[in-house]
């Protein structure tokens, strides 16, 4: 058994296999989550990574029905048998890695795989505040209309662009976030704010505080009209 391939294959087949793992009894679910957290923490330490992957893979295989885990145990169960991505050394199955399973199960985020994974990494690399940090600055992390992203370990991260220097949110951010339905799709909303916009000729977040709120709202409305 290659444990990294098993975990990557489960991530690649999450729609079908995920329910078996999310519905585990509390104790079994906690053991699997712990193993996946150790896997993430062991990045760059091959022996520890392999040990954590082995533990997690055995727990996963024990949670799946025989008709599912036999294919995974034999070699990935997804048709490509797994391969290593160029320059990363991470084994992938259809572009999914073992670490993606931790994101899916622990963080509750679907931002994984060959298409959405790089978007998630780019957005999480941007400045952000945790609840306690924002509260310490006098802000309210529970305020409605804010983008909240699931970071490593599932902890909530609030992209910093949403707040003025006094830790209060920009009013236009709240308005645009509502238009973008950020509560339902926080990643999509964050990507809109932080990516170059052809209408505005820059990333929308770069225009906050520049007396161009009307343009920001207009650009967001134009996106809805396109849909």
- The pLDDT tens digits for 51-61 are 999 999 999 99
Query: In whole angstroms, how far apart are CA 218 and each of 45, 175, 222?
Result: 49, 11, 6
**Token digits of residue 21:** 């793992």
Going by their DSSP bridges, the two strands 83-84 and 91-92 should be labelled as antiparallel
Q: At 226, is the pLDDT very low, low, confident or very high (cuts 50, 70, 90)?
A: confident
**2 φψ region: left (φ > 0), alpha (ψ -120 to 50), beta (else):** beta
Q: Torsion-angle region of residue 128: left (phi > 0), alpha (psi -120 to 50) or beta?
A: beta
Helix (H) or strand (E) holding 177: helix 171-179
Mean pLDDT over each residue of the chain, to the nearest integer: 90
Give CA–CA dist 77/6, Å, rounded.
Answer: 8
Domain boundaries, the chain: 3-114, 128-226
């Amino acid at each position: 058994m290659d444990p990294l391939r098993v975990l990557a294959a489960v991530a690649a087949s999450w729609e079908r296999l995920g329910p078996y793992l999310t519905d585990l009894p509390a104790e079994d679910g906690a053991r699997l989550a712990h193993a996946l957290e150790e896997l993430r923490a062991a990045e760059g330490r091959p022996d520890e990574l392999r040990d954590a992957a082995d533990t997690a893979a055995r727990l996963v295989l024990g949670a799946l029905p025989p008709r599912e885990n036999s294919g995974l145990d034999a070699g990935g169960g997804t048709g490509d048998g797994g391969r290593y991505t160029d320059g990363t050394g991470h084994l992938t199955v259809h572009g999914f890695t073992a670490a993606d399973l931790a994101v899916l199960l622990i963080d509750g985020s679907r931002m994984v795989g060959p298409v959405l994974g790089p978007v998630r990494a780019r957005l999480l690399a941007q400045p952000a505040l945790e609840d306690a940090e924002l509260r310490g600055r006098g802000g309210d992390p529970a305020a409605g209309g804010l983008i909240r992203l699931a970071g490593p370990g599932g902890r909530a991260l609030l992209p910093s662009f949403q707040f003025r220097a006094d830790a209060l949110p920009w009013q236009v951010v709240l308005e645009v976030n509502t238009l973008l339905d950020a509560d339902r799709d926080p990643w999509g909303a964050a990507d809109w704010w932080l990516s170059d916009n052809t209408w505005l000729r820059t990333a929308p977040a770069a225009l906050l505080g520049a007396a161009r709120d009307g343009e920001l709202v207009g650009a967001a409305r134009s996106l809805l009209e396109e849909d």
